[in-house]
Structure 1
């Protein structure tokens, strides 16, 4: 099974006031932590989707470290980045499954991504999601049977609703720290304290 990873990092970070992709945790930007996790995993291919503040963000990581593509429609919400990332993957890499991850979950590492892949191999389900805060969420793995639904998402719809609509084909892995994401300066202070 060929696995692709799509890192979504196109958002405007309106609540933080500056690009959260370049906010720092443990001497690294949140985006660099996400890139390191993807590059350290057993996935075959990876792509980073950038949007708002793209030029500023691109200066903060070595361009050769991961293929990155622009999402000119980032203001239309997360679904537009999922589509652009998936289109890129299908055109160049033809994966059997993709993992969708964000750049604002500082505790996502290669181990968690590898666990998604290993759990899919073991359980044979079409969707493997992380479980935290009494719900399911990203990082989340989708088999190719769900690519069409991912392409049909609208606005700020994320992949979670597809997972919840197919609970019979869903397996979860426990990731309590998945609930930590950075939206505000307070989140960042709390994380770094």
Structure 2
């Protein structure tokens, strides 16, 4: 069955100071690299949700622009982009996915992480699977990306900021966490420019 991914790349990137999808990353941009990571994983259907700077993102993606869905409601928050991506996956002619990977453009990941999460979800037919990691104090946290069963797609298509978006869906269903204690890729979050050098090192990206 199909493994789908929703790549969320619609925000204004105010704290970063420049559009996150267009950040220099290796030989190209962050969104090009993330698209390539998804393509190198078990994912075989991708929706890229854009809002702010959509035309610039379209230009760098080249042939991959066919995966873009525009979210006119992006200023209202990330939940609107998640819903837009989910609705795109429900359209006629698209196979109902076995699982959906929720990937934020500011949280880069590896194909191996995606593949392990998808396999863990499949083995137990879990509703939701997420990486688990421990901080320096030993406290447990949930990482990214999150993988959901395809049967939850209608719920994703209805999320709003008022209903707490993905968080509310996660709270309604059993969640299984898969340990990734030694891989910082599951907790990296590119909010501000000072975080970029360390993140690039984690993924072996040249400055």
TM-score normalised per structure 1: 0.87
Could you tell me which residue of structure 1 aligns to residue 17 of structure 2?
A: 17
- The alpha-carbon distance between structure 1 residues 150 and 9, as it changes in their structure 2 partners (threshold 3 A), is same
Equivalent in 168, 171, 174 of residue 176 of structure 2: 171
Mapped to 2, the partners of 1:59 and 1:52 lie a distance apart of 14
Report if aligned partners of 1:25, 1:191 keep a CA contact under 8 Å in 2: no
Could you tell me which residue of structure 1 aligns to residue 26 of structure 2?
A: 26
- In our comparison, the structure showing a higher alpha carbon Rg is 2
Could you tell me which residue of structure 1 aligns to residue 156 of structure 2?
A: 150
Could you tell me which residue of structure 2 aligns to residue 97 of structure 1?
A: 99
Deviations 1:135-167 (Å, cap 9, x if unpaired)?
A: 22431111133223323322284524432443x
RMSD: 2.1
Deviation of 1:66 after TM superposition, in Å, equals 5.5
Deviation of 1:81 after TM superposition, in Å, equals 0.7
- The alpha-carbon distance between structure 1 residues 56 and 65, as it changes in their structure 2 partners (threshold 3 A), is closer
Mapped to 2, the partners of 1:65 and 1:79 lie a distance apart of 22
Number of corresponding residues? 190
Report if aligned partners of 1:136, 1:160 keep a CA contact under 8 Å in 2: no
Q: Any gaps of 5 or more consecutive residues in structure 2?
A: 202-207
Could you tell me which residue of structure 2 aligns to residue 54 of structure 1?
A: 54
Mapped to 1, the partners of 2:129 and 2:156 lie a distance apart of 15
